[in-house]
Homo-oligomer: A and B are copies of this chain.
Amino acid sequence: MKASRFFIGTLKEAPADAEVVSHKLMVRAGMIRRVAGGIYSYLPVGLRSVRKVEAIVREEMNRAGALEVLMPAVQPAELWQESGRWTQYGPELLRFKDRKESDFVMGPTHEEVVTDIARNQIKSYRQLPVNFYQIQTKFRDEIRPRFGVMRGREFTMKDAYSFDKDQAGLEASYRKMFDAYVRIFTRIGLEFRAVTADSGAIGGNRSQEFHVIAATGEDDIAYCPNSDFAANVEAAEALPLIADRAAPSEPMKKTATPGKAKCEAVAEYLNIPLERTIKSIVLATDNEGAEPTIWLLMLRGDHELNEVKTGKLPGLANFRFATEQEIVEWFGTPPGYLGPIGTKKPVQVIADRTVAHMSDFVVGSNEVDYHTTGVNWGRDLPEPTVADIRNVRPGDPSPDGKGTLDICRGIEVGHVFQLGTKYSDAMGATFLDETGKPQSMMMGCYGIGITRILGAAIEQNYDERGIIWPEAIAPFEIVLCPMGYDRSDAVREAADKLYAQLVEAGVDVILDDRGERPGVMFADWELIGVPHRLVIGDRGLKDGKIEYQGRRDTEPTLVPTGEAAAFARARIQEGLEGGVAANRPVEV
């Protein structure tokens, strides 16, 4: 490509609404342009990277045996009513009526449509397994779209859906997708982790997320530096921090703690470690036609509630936080001094695993300005229901027993799920097995945020001058910057020759033939993030040299003119092959 025939729309200023670096840089580099909140157009520079991501994803999906289909963006409400998600899905689901007043949705995901295809097209076990995927526009009506393409409303996803005859088949299909994802993100050139995930609203059983590691990520990921363990903090198992419960050594005693409602204040006031205090969290679950059930969740003073794990406990699927009125009714006191002993009405007590191993601890007395110290399970109150209800923290033991956890931030770019029969049961997607009996198909689903990958890649790879693209998804692999293309015959001829050589070799090269000043050229291409650059100038040519500089290099390298094309190709190849595999271990 020659720059004079291309469209370069770089901007000096980032948009006022851009909060993160990838959003700022994508707009400034002329990759995207805002159309409405969370809705963008991809300009030529940006779309080149999108297409490269798509091509890698498509190649690896095909290699894994998945078959490409294309399902519609607009879906009839009937299918969502069949699966139950018409009512379950929140306002992120864009619902609308067509001119005949029929209900439709703009698809944020395609389980319903693909299950409808499967139940109609698949009759026999002989047609299984099959895995349908598509690369397609999705819409999710985010309440607060932000971070550019990372949390937009309209975006491109690859979504795949596998159908198997049994759990063993699903495991195999799932593994194939997992392996394909590892290849995809490795080829793209990103530092990433596969982490155990909560399966969230899509439902089902096992699931893992693929996160691009970046300080600006929205998700906290717990991982063990010594092992393969990695999990979204939402889902990471928290082990008890105390191995065995010590015998009681103090008497239980009500103590004045005037104005000390928080654990930190109580610990300081009583001059005890925070790890001796208990945080009481009151939840409620509603019962049709009866009063709600009130739950008291007990966490160590320095721990935080994990709402995702809590929501998976028996009876707590639809929990909410209790109202102040409910708290007063059940505990006889407003929040601040709550505890499990002497409630006014019965509450369901759940102790975190660590709390269950504590002794001589401090809880609220259910009376303003009072706490009770020296509390012990069994002696002062009944043994509790024990559950894992807290977030892991750095330094916690890894659940695999291979060391301690650390926490980093990640941007979710992929997700693999075992759905099981959730949708096939709801929508009657059955097949006849070897004995002629109808069985529900076992489903898996597998997503990759195509456009989000661009944002994530930038969050991981940029500097003060702009983007630094991994070679595999750069809009161009290399830029040729001739100094005085319009003035010097020697420069023009050398640049044109180099361009022809690189095109011939299949390199994705852009020749900046605009005749701009070097400062403008360099600034544009550094902002756009082209990873390799050759500068052709009269001075260098006189010495038989061309200047090569990698986007991360601090200094240029002088290369003999005749070797410049081969030199650049070798650098690009190194980037495509080596970078990630060499120094970024993949945790799986």
Contact = CB atoms under 8 A, between A and B. Distances in A.
A201 interface: no
B117 A33 contact: yes
A154 to B, nearest CB: 5
B121 A9 contact: yes
Given A7-B130, A9-B121, A98-B141, A116 B73 contact: no
Interface string A71-92: 1111110010000000000011
Contacts of A6: 67
A5 interface: yes
Contact of A33 (B5, B96, B120, B153): B120
A113 B70 contact: no
Contacts of A136: 137
B30 A116 contact: no
A143 interface: yes
A40 B141 CA distance: 23
A43 B68 CA distance: 8
A16 interface: no
A67 B44 contact: yes
Contacts of A121: 7, 9, 30, 33, 43
Contact of A47 (B33, B50, B69): B69
Given A41-B71, A43-B121, A99-B91, A76 B33 contact: no
A156 to B, nearest CB: 8
Interface residues on A, range: 35 or more
Give the interface SS of chain A, mostly helix, strand, loop or mixed: mixed
Among A33, A35, A130, A136, residue most surrounded by chain B Cβ atoms (within 10 Å) = A35
A71 B5 contact: no
Interface string A97-140: 11100101010000001001100110000010010100011010
A109 to B, nearest CB: 14
A96 B94 contact: yes
A65 interface: yes
A154 B94 contact: no
A92 B98 CA distance: 9
Nearest to A36: B76
Contact of A39 (B35, B50, B72, B154): B72
A42 interface: yes
Interface string A465-477: 0000000000000
A35 B113 contact: yes
Contact of A75 (B35, B42, B97): B35
A79 B39 CA distance: 13
Contacts of A69: 41-44, 47
Contacts of A91: 99
A75 to B, nearest CB: 7
A67 to B, nearest CB: 4
A42 B70 contact: yes
Contact of A94 (B98, B116, B117): B98
Given A35-B71, A98-B141, A113 B47 contact: no
A153 to B, nearest CB: 7
A161 to B, nearest CB: 12
30 contacts: A5-B65, A7-B67, A7-B127, A9-B121, A30-B121, A33-B120, A33-B121, A35-B71, A35-B72, A35-B75, A36-B74, A36-B75, A39-B72, A40-B72, A41-B70, A41-B71, A41-B72, A42-B69, A43-B117, A44-B132, A47-B69, A47-B70, A50-B70, A74-B139, A74-B153, A91-B99, A92-B99, A94-B99, A98-B153, A99-B143
Interface of A: 5-7, 9, 30, 33, 35-36, 39-44, 47, 50-51, 65, 67-76, 79, 91-92, 94, 96-99, 102, 104, 106, 113, 116-117, 120-121, 127, 130, 132, 136-137, 139, 141, 143, 153-154
